[in-house]
Structure 1
Amino acid sequence: MNDLGKQLERLQKVIARSGIASRRHAEKLIIDGLVKVNGQVVTELGTKVKDTDLIEVEGRKIFPSEKKRFVYYLLNKPEGVITSASDPERRMTVIDLVRSKVKERIFPVGRLDFDTRGLLLLTNDGELTYRLTHPSYQVEKTYRVILNGFISDQALNKLKDGLILKDGLTSPAKILQVKRIKKGDCLSIVEITIHEGKNRQVRRMFEAVGYPIFYLERIAFGPLRIDNKLKPGEFRPLNTAEVKALKREVGLV
C-alpha cells in the first residue's frame, strides 16, 4: 500500500476524534447530509478521507490531521437531570451541571435515565465513547437497586439466567450482592451487573420478576467506581490511570 493509502480514515472516525460528536452521532450527521468533504455533501458512511481534506460538520471546519486535546470527567449524576447535551423542553441536562467549569465541548458516554443517579462519564473523545457504548465490547455496568419487600431467590435466578423483555432477551446478569433488611418496612438492596444498555433495562428487568425499583444508582462503569466524595451534581476529572484503564477495557492501549 502506498503512503496515501495509509492516510485514509473513515469519515465518522475522524469526526469523532475531533470531539465534535460521538461516533454514533457522527454517523447520523453524515446520513442526514450535514457533513461536507472539500465542499461536497457526503452521505455514505464508508467514505474515507485524507489528512489534507477539509471537513465541515454543520458549518464547523475540521482537518483529519488536527490533534485534539481530550478531556475526561466523572459526574455523580443526580435524579431529575437529562442525560443529554440539550433538551427541547428546557429541562436541566448533565452538560448544564458542568458548563461553567468545562470549556471543551463534551458529551455523555451512554445514558442514565431521568430518575436514575450515579456514575456518568463525560468526554470529547469520540472514539472512546463509541467503543465504551458499543455492544460488541460488552463493557460492564453495575447498579445498586433498592426494592420494597424481600426479593426471592427465584427472582434472582431469573435475572441471572436472562429475561425476555418486549425488545428481546437480556443477557445473563451478575448478582454481586443481596441484602434483605427489616427496618420498619422490608427492603432488599441488590447490586447487579449488566453489559447491555437497553432503554430503562434494569428497571424493566426487576419489574418483569415482580419487584419494581424505587431507587436506582449506577455505581460502576467498566473499571471505574462511583467516587463517594462527590455529592450528586458534582464532578471531577479522571486521572491518568483511570483514563488508561478505560482505554485498555476497549482495546485502545
Structure 2
Amino acid sequence: MRLDKYLANMGFGTRKEVKKLIKNKRVAVNEKIETVDKRQVDEYEDYVTLDGEEVVYQKYFYYMLNKPAGVITATIDDFEPTVLDIFSDQDFRMDLSPVGRLDKDTEGLLIITNDGALSHRLLSPKKHIEKEYLVKIDGIMTSEDVRRVASGMQIDGGELCLPAELIIDEVDEENEETTARIVLQEGKFHQIKRMVHTLGKEVMYLQRIRMGQLYLDEQLDLGSYRELSEEEITRLEKR
C-alpha cells in the first residue's frame, strides 16, 4: 500500500494533506524519515510513525449506534441529517456505511461499518438474521394477533411476510395500548408498521433492540455511538 493512502485511511487527512505531512519530514517508516509519498509499505509489518507516534493500521471499523428519530439511515443527504452526521470528525470515514436501514422515525440499534462482507452476510435474505424490535401500539394485541404473525401474514399490496414472533409484554386496558416485541427474519419496507396496521392497530413507537446476537447497549445514550468490542464482532460473525 502507498504510504499516503496508509495515512489517509487512518484518518490523518486527505491524500493531498498527508502528502504534505510526508514532504515536511513528519513521517517515518521503520524509524527512518520518509519523504516519498508513493513509498510502498506493508500495513502489518512496517513500523510507521507520525511526529514520533506510531500509526497502527486498522482495516475494518465497527460501531454500534443508538439511532435517534429524525435522522435518516443514509451516508449523505442534501436535506436531512444522516446517521453518519452523528460521527465526530475524528471517527468519520468516507467508507463507513449503515448495515440495513431504520425508518426516519424509528430509534435503536444500527451497525455502522466499512466491512462490506459482514454487511452482506447480515443482510442476505438466505441468512434469516433475526431483528428484534420494541413496539408500542395503539390498540390491544391479542393471542389471535400472535397466531397470525407466527403463521406468516399477508400485508397490504398482497405481500406475504415470513413467520415472525410477537411477544406481548404489557397491555394497558384503560388506554387501550400494548407494549410488545416483534422478531423478524426479513426487512420489508415499513414492515412492522404495515403488519400492525393489517391487524387493525397502529404503531406509536418503534425501537430496534437486537440484530442477530447483538443487543443494543442499554448504557448507550440516544444519538450516541461506540466501537464494537472484539467479542461483539465475533458474535455477529457467527451468523
**TM-score computed with the length of structure 2 as normaliser:** 0.72
Structure 1 Cα separation of the partners of residues 91 and 107 of structure 2: 21
Give the aligned CA root-mean-square deviation in angstroms.
1.9
Query: Which whole-Å deviations, capped at 9, do the CAs of 1:170-207 have from their partners, x for residues lacking one?
Result: 0011123431124x623201111001011111111111
The alpha-carbon deviation at position 98 of structure 1 amounts to 1.0
Structure 2 Cα separation of the partners of residues 240 and 177 of structure 1: 33
Query: Equivalences for 1:77-116 in 2 at 5 Å?
Result: 77-88=67-78, 90-104=79-93, 105-116=95-106
Query: Equivalences for 1:1-253 in 2 at 5 Å?
Result: 69-88=59-78, 90-104=79-93, 105-165=95-155, 166=157, 168-182=159-173, 185-249=175-239
Equivalent AA in structure 1 for residue 169 of structure 2: V
Equivalent AA in structure 2 for residue 80 of structure 1: G
Structure 2 Cα separation of the partners of residues 185 and 221 of structure 1: 31
The alpha-carbon deviation at position 107 of structure 1 amounts to 0.4
**TM-score computed with the length of structure 1 as normaliser:** 0.68
Answer whether contact 2:84 2:92 (CA < 8 A) is retained.
no
Query: Which whole-Å deviations, capped at 9, do the CAs of 1:211-232 have from their partners, x for residues lacking one?
Result: 1101000010000111111111
Q: Which runs of 5+ in 1 are unaligned?
A: 1-18, 20-64
The alpha-carbon deviation at position 103 of structure 1 amounts to 3.7
Answer whether contact 2:168 2:178 (CA < 8 A) is retained.
no
Give the length in aligned residue pairs.
184
Looking at CA atoms only, which structure, 1 or 2, has the larger radius of gyration?
Answer: 2
Structure 1 Cα separation of the partners of residues 43 and 127 of structure 2: 27
Answer whether contact 2:60 2:113 (CA < 8 A) is retained.
yes
Q: Which runs of 5+ in 2 are unaligned?
A: 1-8, 10-41, 45-57
The alpha-carbon deviation at position 162 of structure 1 amounts to 1.2
